[in-house]
Structure 1
Amino acid sequence: MDVANPSHPNTSESAAAPHGQFALLRQRRFAPFFWTQFAGAANDNLFKFAFTVMVTYQLQLDWMKPTMAGLVIGAVFILPFLLFSATAGQITDKHDKTRVIRFVKNLEILIMVLAAWGFASSDAVILLACVFLMGLHSTMFGPVKFAYLPQVLQPHELTGGNGMVEMGTFVAILLGQVAGGLLIGLPGIGHATVAAACLLVALVGRATAQAIPSAPATDPGLTINWNPLTETWRNLRLAHGNTVVFRSLLGISWMWFFGAVFLAQFPAFAKEVLHADAQVASLLLVVFSVGIGIGSLLCETLSRRQVEIGLVPLGAIGMSVFAVDLYFASRGLPSSAPLGLEAFLARPAHWRVMADLALMAMFAGLYSVPMYALIQLRSPATHRARIIAANNILNALFMIASSLLVGLLLHLGCSIPQVFLITGIANAVVAFGIFMLVPEYLLRFVAWILSNLIYRFDVRGTQHIPNEGAALLVCNHVSFVDAVLLMAASPRPIRFLMDHRIFRMPVLGTLFRLAKAIPIAPQKEDAAAYERAFEEAVQVLRDGDLLAIFPEGAITRDGELQPFKAGTRKILDIAEAEGMNVPVVPMALSNLWGSFFSRIEVRDGDRVAMVRPFRRGVFSRVGLTVGSAMSASEAGLERLQLRVGELLATLPTR
C-alpha cells in the first residue's frame, strides 16, 4: 500500500482507506465536496435549460429571438469567466478553500431567490441577469474546485478523484438539463416548479458544503489585485512560466473547443441530419455524457492509480478516429419525417452514430482527466488556484472561438457532418503538435503501451519514489526497454544516464533522445564526453529532478546481476561536495531475461536481442520492485549492489 503524504491533511484517513476511486465517496475529505460540486453543476444547467426552453417556446421577446436564445444565454453565462477568473484564483489562494466554497453556495441561494422572482413574473431580464450571476458563481467555484483536490488527496488518488469529479459534472449537467426541460413544461405550474427546484438544489449544495473539512489558504499573505485585466494577463504569464503545465492548459482548452463543437450542434444534427425530433437530440446528449463519465472513471484503472499522462495521446487518437467515423456514419442517411425515439432506435445505421458519439466522448474523458491531474500535481501549491483560473480563462476563449469558427464553416456552406470531420482532423493535428512540444506525453504513451499491451507489468513499492525533490534511482539492467518500463512505473518524469550506443538504434534511440536521456561513453573512448555526461547528470539533481542510472554499465548477457561500476558513486560524491543530500532509491526488474528485448539469442557466438518476438508468448509477466531509499552516505557500491540483489531475491519468478 502507498504510504500517506504527511503534507496532506487527513493523512490517516487516506492511508487507511481502501483502494479505488469510489471509496472516496465514503470519506469526509471528498464526499461532501463531490456532492457540493454535483449540486452546483446540476443547478446551473437546470436553471439555464429551463430559461432557454421558456424563451424558445413560451415567451415572445422582440429583443431575443427563439433561434438566438441558446447562443445569448450561453454567451452571458461564460462572460464572467473572462472577466473574473483571475480574481477568483487570487481569492482561492488567499483564503481557506472551504470558506470560499461556503460563500459561493450562499451566493447561489441568493441568486436562486432572485431567479424564483423572475420565473414567477416571467421576467426575462431578471432571469438573464441571474444567468450572469450564475456564471459568476461558477467562475468563483472553478479555481477552488480543482485547487481543493490536490490539497486533500494523495498524488496516487488524484487521477481517481478527478475522474469522479469529471464524471459527476457531466452526469449533473445531464440531469439538470433533463429536469429543467421537463419541469418548465408542466402546464400551469412549470415556472413555479422550476423556481422551487432551483432553490431546493441550492440549499442542498449549501448543506453539503457545511460538511467539507477545512482546506487552509496556500498563500495567505497574497495582496489581491482587483483589476481583472492586469490580473488576467499576470495569471496567463504565471501559467506560461511552467512549460509542461501551460501546454497542458492549452490541451484542456482544446478539449473544450472540441466538445463545444459537438454539444452545440446536437439539436441541429438531430433535426437536419438524423431527421429526428427533440427527444433524439436529448438522447445524443445522454450518450455523450455517459461516454465522458465512463472514460473519466476508466482513467484510474488504466493508470494504476497514478497520474498517467500516457493516456492523453490514447484519448486524442480515439477522439479523432470516432469524430471522423461519425462523419461517415451520418453521411447520406435517408430523409424522412421527424423520427421519434423508438423509430430512431429501430434503424441499425443510427446505432453506429451513437457508438461513435459514446466512444468519442469516452476517449475525451481519457484525454482530459490526466491533464487536470498533471496540472494539479505540477503547479506550485501557493499559485495553484491562479493557474486553474488561467485555465478557465483559456477554456472560455477557446469555446468562444469554437462558436465563431463553427458559425463561419456553416456560413461557408459546410454541412454539420463536414464540421465534425474537420474538427476530427484538426484534433489530430493539434494533438500531434502538443505531443511534439511536450514529448513527455508521447513518451509516457509508449511506456503505457509497453507495460500494458506487450507485458503484464507488476509494480511494487512506488511509494518509495519521492513525490518531489531530487533522487537517484539505481536499477539492474536486463533489456533494451528497461528505461521505458521505469518511465511507466514512476509518477514523475525521469532523466536517464545511458550507454551512448543505444542512441544508434532506430526507434529506441529516437525515443531516448526525446526523453532527454544523457549519453555516456567510456572514459577511454571519449574523456570529454564522459565528464560532460556526469556534469549533466548532476545538473538534473541540482534541478530537483529524478535521475536514473544502470550501474552495471551494460545490459546483462547471462541474466545475472553484474558488478556495479563507479559512475553511481561519482555522481553522489559530486552532489555531496555541493551540499546536496540526494536519496538513492534501489530498484529491481524481474522476469525480463529471456524476453524479446533481452540479449538471450546466440548468433555467431554473441548474444543478441529482438529476435523471435513471441518466444515467451503474449503478455508475459514482468515486474519492478522499488526498495526504500538509502542516504547518499550509506550507498556504497557494494552495499547498493547487495540491496538490489536482495530485491531480486524476494521477487516471485515467472
Structure 2
Amino acid sequence: MSDHPLPAARRARRDGEAHESQFRLLRERRFAPFFWTQFLGAMNDNVFKIGFTSLVTYQTARFSGVDPKTAPFLISAIFILPFVLLSATSGQIADKYDKAMLTRFVKTFEIAVMLVGGAGFWLHSAVLLYACTFLMGVHSTVFGPVKYAYLPQHLTNAELVGGNGMVEMGTFVAILVGTIAGGAAAGLPGNGAAVLACLCVSVALIGRFASAFVPPSTPSQPELRINWNPVSETRRNLKLARGNRMVFLSLLGISWLWFVGATFLASFFNFAKDVLSASPDVVTVLLATFSVGIGTGSLLCERLSKRRIEIGLVPLGSIGISVFAVDLYFASHALPVAGHLLAVGEFLRMPAHWRILADLYLLAMFGGFYSVPLYALIQSRSVPSHRARIIAANNILNALFMIVSALMAMALTSAGIGIPGLYLVTALLNVAVAAYIYLLVPEFLLRFVAWLLVHTVYRIRLVHTERIPAEGPAVLVCNHVSYVDAIVIMAESPRPIRFVMDHRIFRAPLAGWLFRHAKAIPIAPAHEDAKLLAAAYGQSANALAEGELVCIFPEGKLTRTGEINAFRHGVMEIIGRTPVPVIPMALRGLWGSVFSRDESAHLPRPLRRGAISRLTLAVGEPLDPAGVTPEGLEEIVTALRGARR
C-alpha cells in the first residue's frame, strides 16, 4: 500500500504547483487544521512554562522550597523526562493508529492536564505545577511522532521542505505568543496566577476544537503489535534508526540542536535578571527575538534550498550558531551598569543591548537553517512503515540531550560560572560536535561547498533540471569542463549522486577523503588498472540496482581546449550491465574560470557577477538505453551545450 494518500493525478498537480508560496498550505484542509492544532499546543506549553518560570524566578517567596537559580533548568528537565520514558511506545502507537484520531486524543488529554496546572497556579503549589509540567511532557511525547510522521503522508516531496519550514516557523511563533501571554499574565499584580490558569485551559479547549478538522491518515502499520516495555522498545527504535547511517546521524544532529536551544531558552530569565539587570518583560523581548529568528530561518530554507532537501544548509547553520553564540559571550561583558531592573523601554534605549538582540536573532536564524533540512531528510529517507518510530527515536535522543543540557547548566551555574560563560561553553561544544558529525558524513560538507559555490561565486541558470528523476535509477552523462563539475551538478540535483571519477582524484588528501565518503566510484583506464576498471563497473551496477543515480563524464578527462572530447565506451558498459534511462546533461560557462585548464583562467567575481560567473546546466530528455551510443550521446550533449563553452 502506498504511504501517500493523495491520488496520483492530484499528487502530480501538487508537484507542478510546488513553485507557489508555502503559505498556500494554510488554505488547505490537509495542512491547516494540523498546523493550528500543533501551533496551539506549542503556545500552551509556553504559556504554562513561562508563567511558572516567571513566578518562581521573580516571586520566589510564594513557592516554598524552590531555588530560583536552578528552577528554570529543573522545569525543563521535568518536561522532557517523559520523552525518555514514553517515546518508544508513542512511536508504535503513531505507526499503528490513525494520526487524526491520536491528535484529538492528545488534545483532550491536554484539557485535563491544564486543569491540574490551573489548580497549581491558583494555590501557588509547586508540587502541582511540577506534576503538570511532567504531564505536559507526556502530551508532547505522544504528539511528537504523530506531528512529524503526518507531514510526509499529506505533502508531496516538493512541499516537504516548505511544510517543515511552516511547522518550525509556527512552533516558534507559538513560543513567542505563549511567551508574551505567559509572561504578561504572570506579571499582573495580585491575580496573575488566576489569569494564567484560565488562559491555559482556554487555549487547550481551542486546540481541541481545531483538532476536530484534521483529516484522516491511513495507519502506516495497522497490524503492528505494540511492545509496552519501554526499555526494550527504546533499544529497538534506536536500532531501527541506526539502520540508515545518514538518518541516524541526522537524528543526532537535531538532538544536538535541542541541546543548544534548551540551554539558551532555559537560561533567559536568569540572563535577564543577573546579567542584563532587566525586568521580566525584557525576558519576553529576548524570547521574542529568538523565536522570530528561528522562524525567519525556517521560512528562508525553502527559498535558499530551491524547494529541495538541501543538507548543504546544515553546516552553514552550525557555523552561524557558534559565531553568534561566541559574540553573545563577549557582548555580555560590555554592558552598562544599571542600579535597578530595567524596563523594556530603558533596555532598548541602550545601544549595547541591540548587539545582544542581534546575536540572539542571528543565532536562532542559523538554527532554522540547521534544523529544517535535517527534519525533511529524516522524513524523506525513513522507511514509511517505521517513520513514526524513527521520529520517536529522535524524541528519545532529543530528550536525553536536553536532560544533559539541563544537568550541565545546573552544574556550571552551581560551580559559579555565569550565564555568559555557559553560552561560551555551548558555542565551543557546538564547534566540536559539528566537526565530528561532518567528519563522519562528508556529504554535508560537500553539499555545503556546492551550495556556497552556486550561491556566491556563480549565478546558475537551469534548463529542464526537472528531468533529473526524483526517484529510481538513471545514468547521468555530462561534458567535463572543470574541477568543480561534480560539485555544480551535485548542487542542482534533487537527490544524492554516485559520481564515477578518475582514480587520481582519490590520491589528494582532502578531495580523496571527501569523495570516498561521498561514495564516489574511482575508475581507471584498462591499461592503467584493469581490476579497478572492473570494480568501477561493478559498483556502478550495484548502485543502479539499488535505485541510485550514477553520473559519468564519458570524455574521461578535462577538456584542454574548451571543446568536447570524444566520448568513450564506459557508459555503454554500465548500461549494458544495468539497462536504465540515460540522462544527457551539459555545463556551459565554466571554461575560462580558475577551475578549468584554460591558460588564461581567472578568478570568478563573487561580488560583481558578470558574464564570467554565469553558468548553465541544461538537461536533455531521458534516453532509452537500448538506443544509446557514445557518438549519439556526444552529439546530444554538444547540442545542449551550444556555442558557449
TM-score by length of 1: 0.90
Give 1:137's aligned residue.
139
Alpha-carbon distance between aligned partners in 2 of 1:558 and 1:422, rounded to the nearest angstrom: 53
Range moving further from structure 2, 123-132 or 303-312 = 123-132
1:91-110 → structure 2 map (5 Å cutoff):
91-110=93-112
Alignment partner of 1:382: what SS?
helix
Compared with structure 1, are the counterparts of its residues 558 and 615 closer, same or farther at alpha carbon in structure 2 (3 Å cutoff)?
Answer: farther
Q: Tell me, what secondary structure is at the counterpart of 1:512?
A: helix
Equivalents in 1 of 2:329, 2:27: separation in Å?
43
Query: Is the Cα contact below 8 Å between 1:595 and 1:615 reproduced in 2?
Result: no
The farther-off stretch of 380-389 and 19-28 is 19-28
Deviates more, 1:139-148 or 1:541-550: 541-550
1:346 counterpart letter in structure 2: R
How far apart, CA to CA, are the structure 1 residues paired with 2:281 and 2:191? 22
SS of the equivalent of 2:62 reads: coil
Could you tell me which residue of structure 1 aligns to residue 377 of structure 2? 374
Counterpart Cα distance in 2 of 1:615 and 1:305: 24
Q: Partner of 1:284: helix, strand, or coil?
A: helix
Distance in structure 2 (CA, Å) of the matches to 1:293 and 1:469: 34
Measured after TM superposition, the shift of residue 366 of structure 1 is: 1.0
SS at match of 1:231: helix
Partner of 2:168: 166
Paired residue type of 1:393? I
Aligned equivalent of 1:488: 491
Which whole-Å deviations, capped at 9, do the CAs of 1:606-632 have from their partners, x for residues lacking one? xxxx54555996461112123343333
Query: 1:555 & 1:5 partners in 2: Cα distance?
Result: 46
Q: Is the 8 A contact 2:18 2:159 kept in 1?
A: no
Shift of 1:70: 3.2
Do 1:82 and 1:393's aligned partners in 2 also have CA atoms closer than 8 Å?
yes
Q: Residues 176-195 of structure 1: matches in 2 within 5 Å?
A: 176-186=178-188, 190-195=192-197
2:411 corresponds to which residue? 408
Q: Check the 8 A contact 2:62/2:124 in 1, yes or no.
A: no
**Which residue number in structure 1 is paired with residue 587 of structure 2?**
589
Q: Evaluate the alpha carbon distance shift between residue 515 and residue 395 of structure 1 in structure 2; reply closer, same or farther with a 3 A threshold.
A: same
- Deviation track 1:279-309 (CA, whole Å, cap 9, x = no partner) reads 2222211111111111111111111111111
Offset from partner CA, 1:435-492 (integer Å, 9 cap, x none): 0001110110111111111111223434333333332111222222110011101122
1:589 partner letter: L
- 1:240 maps to 242
Paired with 1:93 and 1:425, the residues of 2 have a C-alpha distance of 38
Mark the CA change 1:66 to 1:436 in structure 2 (over 3 Å): closer, same or farther.
Answer: closer
Q: Deviations over 1:593-646 (max 9, x none)?
A: 3333223326xxxxxxx5455599646111212334333323333443444344
- Identify the range of structure 1 (49-58 vs 429-438) with the bigger mean alpha-carbon deviation: 49-58
Alignment partners' CA distance in 2, 1:88 and 1:244: 23
Alignment of 1:140-539 (within 5 A): 140-186=142-188, 190-338=192-340, 339-503=342-506, 508-539=511-542
Q: Distance in 1 between matches of 2:191 and 2:329?
A: 42
Q: Distance in 2 between matches of 1:185 and 1:555?
A: 69
Q: Which residue of 1 aligns with 2:576?
A: 573
The change in CA–CA distance for 1:66 and 1:433 in structure 2 (over 3 A counts) is: closer
- Which stretch has the larger CA shift, 529-538 or 50-59? 50-59
Runs of 5+ consecutive residues of structure 1 not aligned to the other structure: 577-581, 603-609
Structure 1 residues 407 and 109 mapped into 2: Cα distance closer, same or farther (>3 Å)?
closer
Q: Helix, strand or coil: the match of 1:624? A: strand
Q: 1:223 and 1:335, CA in 2 relative to 1: closer, same or farther beyond 3 A?
A: same
**Residues 564-613 of structure 1: per-residue CA shift (max 9 Å, x gap):** 2111110111124xxxxx232222222223333223326xxxxxxx5455
Conserved in 2, the CA contact under 8 Å of 1:345 and 1:351? Answer: yes
Please tell me whether residue 637 in structure 1 is matched to residue 640 in structure 2: no
Q: Structure 1 residues 132, 278: CA separation in 2 closer, same or farther (over 3 Å shift)?
A: same
Shift of 1:114: 4.6
Equivalent AA in structure 1 for residue 624 of structure 2: S
The answer to whether the 8 Å contact 2:541/2:574 transfers is: yes
- Secondary structure class of the residue paired with 1:564: coil
Instruction: For 1:639 and 1:143, locate their aligned partners in 2 and report how far apart those are by CA, in whole Å.
Output: 50
**Cα contact 1:257–1:398 (8 A) shared by 2:** yes
8 Å contact kept, 2:312–2:451: yes
Residue by residue over 1:402-456, the C-alpha shift from the partner in whole angstroms, topping out at 9 and shown as x without a partner, is: 1111222233332322221121111111101110001110110111111111111
Structure 2 runs not aligned, ≥5 long: none
Which residue in 1 is equivalent to 2:23?
22
Compute the displacement of 1:61 (Å): 4.0
Match of 2:29, SS state, is: coil
Once the two structures are TM-superposed, the CA of residue 336 in structure 1 deviates from its matched residue by 2.4
Kindly indicate whether the alpha-carbon contact (under 8 Å) linking 1:457 and 1:622 is maintained by their aligned counterparts in 2. Answer: yes
AA aligned opposite 2:209: A
Distance in 2, matches of 1:231 and 1:51, equals 33
Paired with 2:186 and 2:333, the residues of 1 have a C-alpha distance of 35
- Alignment partner of 2:549 out of 528, 531, 546: 546
| In 2: Cα distance, 1:97 partner to 1:243 partner | 27
Partner of 1:37: 38
TM-score between both structures, scaled by the size of structure 2: 0.92
Give the letter aligned to residue 520 of structure 1.
Answer: I
The corresponding residue for 1:607 is none
Distance 2:49 2:544 in 1: 52
> Percent identical across equivalent pairs?
56
Q: Distance in 2 between matches of 1:326 and 1:290?
A: 17
8 Å CA contact 1:163, 1:300 repeated in 2: yes
Q: 1:251 Cα deviation (Å)?
A: 0.9
Report if the CA contact (8 A) 1:476-1:644 is conserved: yes
Q: Residue 442 of structure 1: SS of its match in structure 2?
A: helix
- 2:593 touches 2:603 (CA, 8 Å); kept in 1? no
Aligned position for 1:50: 51
CA distance in 2, matches of 1:228, 1:612: 58
How has the CA–CA distance of structure 1 residues 111 and 533 changed in structure 2, closer, same or farther, with 3 Å as cutoff?
same
CA distance in 2, matches of 1:423, 1:474: 45
Whole-Å separation in 2 of the counterparts to 1:322 and 1:169: 22
Counterparts of 1:109 and 1:15 in 2: how far apart (Å)? 41
Distance in 2 (CA, whole Å) between partners of 1:316 and 1:441 is: 11
Q: Secondary structure at the match of 1:217?
A: coil
Q: SS of 2:578's equivalent?
A: helix
Does the CA contact (< 8 Å) of 2:254 and 2:371 recur in 1? yes
AA at the equivalent of 2:486: A
